[in-house]
Amino acid sequence: MRPFAYRRAEGPDDAVRSLETGGRFIAGGTNLLDLMKLGVEHPHQLVDIARLPNDAIHETDAGGLRIGARVSNTALAADPRVRRRWPLLSSALLSGASPQLRNKATTGGNLLQRTRCEYFQDLGRPCNKRAPGSGCGALEGYNRNHAILGTSEHCIATHPSDMAVALTALDAVVETRMRDGRTRSLPIRELHCLPDPRPEVEHVLEHDELIEQVVLPAPPDGAAHIYRKARDRASYAFALVSVAVVLRTVGDEVREARVALGGVAPKPWHATRIEERLRNAPATHESFLEAARAELAPAIGRGHNDFKVPLAERLIVTTLAEAAGLAHVPHRELIR
């Protein structure tokens, strides 16, 4: 590990003003420290924000929640209000990492964690995200865990966060602070970037911009919340495909659908085609299958990850059906 300067921030303004070019904020450190040990990240300065006062969850006047960026993943998943009114978020958080990591990982840090792509983490392999212009080793290499949507010839890495997928389906808003005193509210769906043309740019935040809060709007009345994650083992594994669904039905008709996908794209994937197809559509397996296929029509497999297309289709349909309260129907029956 290379030498670096360390500074403990005394407050939010001190944090953003003291961050130098090439420096990084550190809170839980569950991602950054690993990357520093691997030599992928080598900041010359760390500004410690682990003692800033934004570690609480408050209700908003509009019936939502304001979540401090320093709230741990464990505390957020266990909050009674989240478990009761936004169970999708609690389920997503509990499906990620391990209890020890969730105890340290923060809300703000989880949103900005970097990809777990093997080529990104291995200094001996080409990676445009780590070393722009070096190429993408995953394109012709081992790419089983890589993206099928939103990719480019520059990068096919996936975003690893479960929480960010849930927050995308929940229409969350990120509140930030900058060095010059400006603040802004940013829909989470606009936070992360796709890799074309600059795969090394992963989000739209400025260098000295600090996430302070994440705001959840009030959930739709009567909506079902479901998070499903397909992975290689039952715990401590990243998603091959995940689906976050907020679905409100009236009778046999879909009135509102919010859907996001994980494990399939370089950012949490807002499934707009599914949402558009399901608006006022019948709440049936056939409608869900048609919507899933429309969303996945642009998907590109790169060999080892070809299986993600049918896997995503099946997981989308079964998750929507569960949210709609439909009896299980084997997928093979739907495609006859």
Other beta carbons within 10 angstroms of residue 103's beta carbon come to 14
Helix, strand, or coil here: 62? coil
Structure-token match 């670096």, residue found: 4
Instruction: Indicate the residue type of 66.
Output: R
End-to-end CA distance of the chain: 57
Domain ranges across the chain:
5-48, 225-334
pLDDT tens by residue, 4-44: 999 999 999 999 999 999 999 999 999 999 999 999 999 99
Answer for the pair 185, 119: CB distance below 8 angstroms, yes or no: no
Q: Which residues pair with 259 in a beta bridge?
A: 245
Q: Which residues pair with 57 in a beta bridge?
A: 67
Sheet holding 173-177, edge to edge: 57-59, 65-68, 210-216, 173-177, 183-187
CB neighbour list of residue 46: distance below 8 Å, 6 or more residues apart: 4, 5, 6, 7, 23, 24, 25, 26
CA distance 319 to 166: 14
pLDDT at 274 over 70: yes
Give CA 71 to chain center in angstroms: 16
Structure-token match 């389920």, residue found: 91
The CATH code of domain 225-334 reads: 3.30.390.50
Selection from 111, 299, 292 nearest residue 190 by Cα: 111
DSSP H helices, 205-306, are 272-278, 285-296
DSSP per position, 131-176: STTS-BTTTTS--TTS-SSS-BTTB-PPP--HHHHHHHHTT-EEEE
Strands 23-26 and 45-48: parallel
Residue 317 tokens read as: 């349909």
CA distance 33 to 26: 9
Selection from 186, 315, 192 nearest residue 243 by Cα: 315
Q: What is the overall mean pLDDT for the chain?
A: 96
Strands 183-187 and 5-8: unpaired
Q: Is domain 5-48 annotated with CATH 1.20.950?
A: no
Q: What is the pLDDT of residue 332?
A: 75
Q: What is the pLDDT of residue 333?
A: 75
Q: What is the pLDDT of residue 305?
A: 98
Answer for the pair 88, 223: CB distance below 8 angstroms, yes or no: no
Strand locations in 159-305 (E): 173-177, 183-187, 210-216, 224-230, 241-250, 253-262, 269-270
CA distance 217 to 229: 24
Helix, strand, or coil here: 120? helix
Average pLDDT over residues 202-210: 97
Selection from 240, 306, 264 nearest residue 274 by Cα: 264
Average pLDDT over residues 223-246: 97
pLDDT tens by residue, 91-144: 999 999 999 999 999 999 999 999 999 999 999 999 999 999 999 999 999 999
Helix, strand, or coil here: 289? helix
pLDDT tens by residue, 135-163: 999 999 999 999 999 999 999 999 999 99
pTM: 0.97
Determine the angle formed by the axes of helices 87-94 and 162-169, rounding to 10 degrees: 170
